[in-house]
Structure 1
């Protein structure tokens, strides 16, 4: 696995006072726990808080984000951004391709349509070993990467005056 570049500037890491939504799919519980640990640590380093929603699988993540962000906005406390966490491991059927593609498509559509700072931490891998490598906060830290992406986009929107 290539070594990722994770050197965001201070401007991209300071989300003090921002409140993020994390939606996690716990289909693979131990992998989900590692993704969540990485995401929570990254948000803490950015001085942001979070709310957690759990769903059964990756396909449920986009609609859960839509429901939760809509409810928060109607309540007058919109989320600063969202982090999607889950894992899809290739099996013997075409189901992997459907879940991987449709969850990514729906997340991108949601983020663009609502200008929602969103980090996609849904792993799409061939094996459980690959998932563990990528999810582990001490190795791949893809949960942390997803949270850092959401924070960076939130900071960009804040600097651009795009946040209400």
Structure 2
């Protein structure tokens, strides 16, 4: 279907098993909506904003790739013994929000910030809180809002 949204899923792989479960939830939600997606991986949550920025900037240089209508950022940050968690969580959220505002992106935020692996699994599991699906749904809703404001080329 030509009018179906095309979505970029970007997965932070630092906690691979949790990231895979988030992606599983997001992909199911995107498929349910009749949308298409491409899946990319980055080392960690800190790299998520850069990956999306690369995609946005690539449209300035290369028109052969299909443009994304929306973006889903997925990953997991588990608090450790140092302040590194706080820095990465804040910079990831700030970077993604800055991109969404600067480039008028439809962005679903699915980066878990938790105290331990048990909390992460409850939130990532498609059988429990399914935050990957929540992030995909948020992206799809923002794509629709952009269409209502005529901010898309479709």
Q: Point out where structure 2 has 5 or more consecutive residues left out of the alignment.
A: none
Measured against aligned partners, the alpha-carbon deviations of 1:3-39 in whole angstroms (never above 9, x if no partner) come to xxxxxxxxxxxx9511100000111111011100000
Aligned residues: CA RMSD: 1.4
2:54 is matched with 67
SS at 2:55 equivalent:
helix
1:22 is matched with 9
SS at 2:137 equivalent:
helix
1:9 is matched with none
- Of 17, 27, 40 in structure 1, the residue corresponding to residue 27 of structure 2 is 40
TM-score (norm 2): 0.93
Q: Point out where structure 1 has 5 or more consecutive residues left out of the alignment.
A: 1-14
**d(CA) in 2 for partners of 1:162, 1:69:** 15
**d(CA) in 2 for partners of 1:50, 1:44:** 9
Measured against aligned partners, the alpha-carbon deviations of 1:23-70 in whole angstroms (never above 9, x if no partner) come to 001111110111000000010011100011100000000000110232
- Of 131, 139, 161 in structure 1, the residue corresponding to residue 150 of structure 2 is 161
Structure 1 residue 94: deviation in Å? 0.3
TM-score (norm 1): 0.88
* Misfit runs of 4+, over 2 Å: none
**d(CA) in 1 for partners of 2:71, 2:109:** 9
How many residue pairs end up in the alignment?
150
SS at 1:138 equivalent:
coil
Q: Any conservation in 2 of the 1:25–1:55 contact (CA below 8 Å)?
A: yes
